[in-house]
Structure formats: C-alpha cells, structure tokens
C-alpha cells in the first residue's frame, strides 16, 4: 500500500490508475515542490502512511511533473487530497487541513466497507 518503509508511494500519470484500483481505500496527495501549504501537509500524509500502513494506500502526485491526473480531477489548487474507495473518487479535500480531518474521512469510508 505504501512503500516497504511505510512512506507514501510516488505516483505518476502512468501509475496512478493502477495504484488507485489496487486498494479498497486510497488517498493521494496532489502537490508541487514550490507550494508552501503542500510542505505543511506533507508530514501529515507521511504520518498517515505510517499509521495506516497495510490498511490504506497512500500516494503522492507531483502536479508539476504530471498534468493528466490533475486535469481529469479538475484540481485547480494545491494541495488537494483525493480519497478513493474501490477506485471511485469519494472526497476531494482542498488545502492543508488538519490530520484529524483526513483521518476522519478515511475512517468513515473504512467503516462503510
């Protein structure tokens, strides 16, 4: 779900669909290196990856290097966190939000599995 060391998986336009369809619940952090709020959200995404390793797929998509996925999901601002359940987009969270917000949304989807 995450890499062997419990870190988010780096995704690309080419690997995105396979990753999202591989797990029941997936969250993807859409970010860019120059984005201040993205740098604030990054440690939260890494904590979620460690804490939910084995339960949730966690990925990161650099929107500067990958343009197709942001266009498909109409990502206009970053960071945007996409949350999928069984390959279907369930939540699109825009901005650097608290960890409890993301964990709450993930947990709600896990309960309804």
Q: Please report how the helices 99-111 and 36-51 are oriented relative to each other, as an axis angle in degrees rounded to 10.
A: 40
What is d(CA 46, CA 53) in angstroms, rounded to the nearest whole number? 10
What is d(CA 90, CA 62) in angstroms, rounded to the nearest whole number? 21
Please identify which of the residues 11, 38, 48, 83 carries the catalytic annotation: 38
Q: In whole angstroms, how large is the CA radius of gyration of the chain?
A: 12
Please identify which of the residues 1, 11, 25, 35 carries the catalytic annotation: 35
30 is an active site residue: no
What is d(CA 50, CA 8) in angstroms, rounded to the nearest whole number? 8
38 is an active site residue: yes
3-state helix, strand, coil in the chain (%, to 5): 35, 25, 40
Active-site amino acid positions: 35, 38
């Amino acid at each position: 779900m995450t890499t062997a060391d419990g870190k988010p998986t780096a995704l690309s336009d080419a690997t995105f669909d396979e990753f999202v369809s591989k797990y029941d619940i997936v969250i993807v952090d859409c970010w860019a290196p120059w984005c201040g709020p993205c740098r604030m959200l990054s440690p939260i995404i890494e904590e979620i990856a460690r804490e939910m390793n084995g339960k949730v797929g966690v990925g990161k998509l650099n929107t500067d290097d990958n343009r197709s996925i942001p266009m498909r999901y109409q990502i206009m601002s970053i960071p945007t966190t996409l949350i999928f359940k069984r390959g279907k987009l369930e939540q699109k969270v825009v901005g650097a939000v608290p960890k409890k917000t993301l964990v709450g949304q993930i947990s709600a989807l896990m309960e309804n599995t």
